[in-house]
Amino acid sequence: MVSVWLQLAMENLRSERLSQAAVFYKQVLQVNPNQAEALQWLGLILHKQGDSERAIEHINLAITQNPLNAVSHITLASVFKDLGQLDAAIDSYGKALSLKHDLAEVHNNIGTVYVLKGKLDEAQTSFQTAISVSPAFAEAHNNLGIVFSSQGKHDDAVACFQRAIALAPGYAKAQTNLSLELSAAGGTDEPNDVDEMLHAMRQVSENELYYMAVALRMEGKPERAIETFRQATVLDPHRYENWLALGNALQSQGMVVEARDCLQRCNALSPKPGIRVRSDLMLPIIMGTQPNVNQTRQRLERNLQQLIDDQIKMDDPYAEQCVTNFHLAYHGLNDKEIQIKIADFYAQACPSLLYVAPHCNRPRGGTQKKRIGFLSEYIAKHSVASSYSHIVNMLADQGEYEVVLLSHGDATDAAIRQTYPKFKGLFTRLPLDLQKAREMIAALELDVLVYLDIGMGPFSYFLAYSRLARTQCVTGGHPVTTGIGAVDYFLSSDLAETTNADSHYSEKLVRLPFGMFYFARPTLPEVFKTRNELGLPPDGTVYLCPLMLHKLHPDF
């Protein structure tokens, strides 16, 4: 019954029937007083009903039961913020970030708390961090503009408000703030009422359903998150963010037909080239049958040709949340021509991708060591890191080259320190901004840039269009040709390539006489667990296929 009560409680909570939801959560807690989910959401309900003291007790109990749940810390922080306990709110938001550092909404919320405290410099840092995590986060751009306005930085404020409006054309708050800023700068009688804007920020009430759905996704409950996003679109069908969030959630679960419909609805409300590109180039996560694969590719090629014919233009595909064509690689077909065509499309749509570092147009001089950069978004806690980190470490140890490791991670992070112990090269942390990252890498004047993977994530994929080193290579972290003209060589092994493999690569294929991966041999336990301890049946043969489902080809 507990699972049924939890489901009924959430259905009532989504419909804002707080009293009914509270009844079901209390029933759960009568059976299990330590049920963390019931404690957390009942705490939120108690707060909404004005009993904040008991709310804090319930949420703290939920955190005690599950201290690694970032959503509980965020919920507690929101209660403290409403009560004016601002330092406690910042502390709770900080605990959430210690569990999951790339939560743009949390950085934005911390910024609003700093505004309430009158600490605008700290607020500015928080909003800028939110933007670096999520460049298309319109609210954070608007909030940063308010801070700049209050600091007398007129041009910066105008740029932020304009950016917020470009990302969300129906964003009334940003339009009002831009109007106030421009009127004040123009010397009109209408004041630039910064206090009014700061007050408006304090009074912003988040769409409860929307953020509840975000919380559910963070908790690893995608089906319930999708249900909640659906309800949000019913209550406010004109809100662009609701349809975008629902589309993203559906796509992540492989429901691509409905996801495309949501993105098309986004485009109808607020046309953006990036949303159209995402919708037109979207691929199913799970392949289905071989005819399904063929139909998917045919549809992709038709849509791609239409995008090229329509001469789509965009300023920054990464900021507009365009994604890589990741799932093509698992179809088991020759992807060279379609990858080239996709790369040609993005180069046509956004010519700034084709940036060339100044030193690449000069002959190399001097006798200094050659400088080699290794770049990936996945330098720790990932299969890419497991495959290549030892090679990067050893090359730096040898001292024959200057080795630079490039990523947007923090070098002080424990996982990175563990993966690259006593690293003798240079670690460079890249900002999540294509133009700034290009300029930072260009300043290193690399002789060789090795991408450990291209196609896993959008940041490195769109960065690879630029000429940032005299020679540029990619390894098999994502084992498919890139189609990108600025990538010169694909580093592979003769052991992994067929005789006609060159025809599958837009890059020059380098067949090394040894494997490209270097794994540390694991230490085996002295005593292995029994079948019973592993929860396996005592008899019979057990077959294991330790792969993500999207890697299973229909031929299997």
What sign for the dihedral angle of Cα 167, 171, 174, 180?
positive
- Residue showing tokens 């292995």: 528
Question: What dihedral angle (degrees, nearest 10) is formed by the CA atoms of 498, 503, 505, 511?
Answer: 40
**Number of H helices and number of E strands within the chain?**
23, 7
Q: Where is 415: in which H helix or E strand?
A: helix 414-419
pLDDT of residue 518: 87
Instruction: For residue 197, give the nearest of 143, 258, 130 by alpha carbon.
Output: 143
For residues 479 and 326, is the Cβ–Cβ distance under 8 A? no
Q: Are strands 371-375 and 446-451 parallel, antiparallel or unpaired?
A: parallel
Sheet architecture: strand order including 402-407: 426-429, 402-407, 371-375, 446-451, 469-474, 489-493, 508-512
Check residue 308 and give its pLDDT. 96
How many Å apart are CA 232 and CA 121, to the nearest integer? 34
Q: Is residue 518 within 8 Å of 386, Cβ to Cβ?
A: no
CA 483 from chain centre, in angstroms, equals 23
Note whether 474 and 453 are within 8 A (CB): yes
DSSP secondary structure letters along 303-338: HHHHHHHTT---S-TTTTT----GGGGGG-S--HHH
State how far the Cα of 487 lies from the Cα of 455, in Å rounded to an integer.
13
Predicted pLDDT of residue 368: 85
Please name which of 421, 369, 430 lies closest in space to residue 390, comparing C-alpha atoms.
421
Q: Other CB atoms closer than 10 Å to residue 285's CB: what's the count?
A: 17
Distance between CA atoms of residues 355 and 358, nearest Å: 9
* Residue from 397, 427, 431 nearest 412 by CA: 427
- Encoding tokens for residue 217? 């996704």
β-pairing verdict for 426-429 and 446-451 = unpaired
DSSP 59: H
| pTM of the complete model beyond 0.85 | no
The angle at the Cα of 548, spanning 546 to 550, to the nearest 5 degrees, equals: 140
Walk along the chain (556 residues) and give the pLDDT tens digit of each residue: 677 677 777 766 655 667 777 888 888 888 888 888 888 888 888 887 888 888 899 999 989 888 888 888 988 998 888 888 889 999 999 998 888 888 888 898 899 888 888 888 999 999 999 998 888 888 889 889 988 888 888 889 999 988 888 887 767 778 878 887 887 666 444 444 555 555 555 443 334 566 667 666 655 667 777 877 887 787 678 888 888 888 988 888 888 989 999 999 988 888 889 999 999 999 998 888 999 999 999 999 999 999 999 999 999 998 888 889 999 999 999 999 999 999 999 999 999 999 999 999 998 887 789 999 999 989 988 889 999 999 999 999 999 999 999 998 777 778 888 899 989 999 998 987 899 999 999 999 999 999 999 999 899 999 999 999 999 999 999 999 999 999 999 999 999 999 999 999 999 999 999 888 888 888 999 999 998 898 888 899 998 888 888 888 998 8
Helix (H) or strand (E) holding 450: strand 446-451
CA 75 to chain centre: 22
Instruction: Check residue 448 and give left, alpha or beta (phi > 0: left; psi -120 to 50: alpha).
Output: beta
**For residue 392, with 0-12 CB atoms within 10 Å meaning exposed, 13-18 middle and 19 or more buried, which class applies?**
buried
Which of left, alpha, beta for 423 (phi over 0: left; psi -120 to 50: alpha)? beta
Q: How far is the C-alpha of 243 from the C-alpha of 250, rounded, in Å?
A: 10
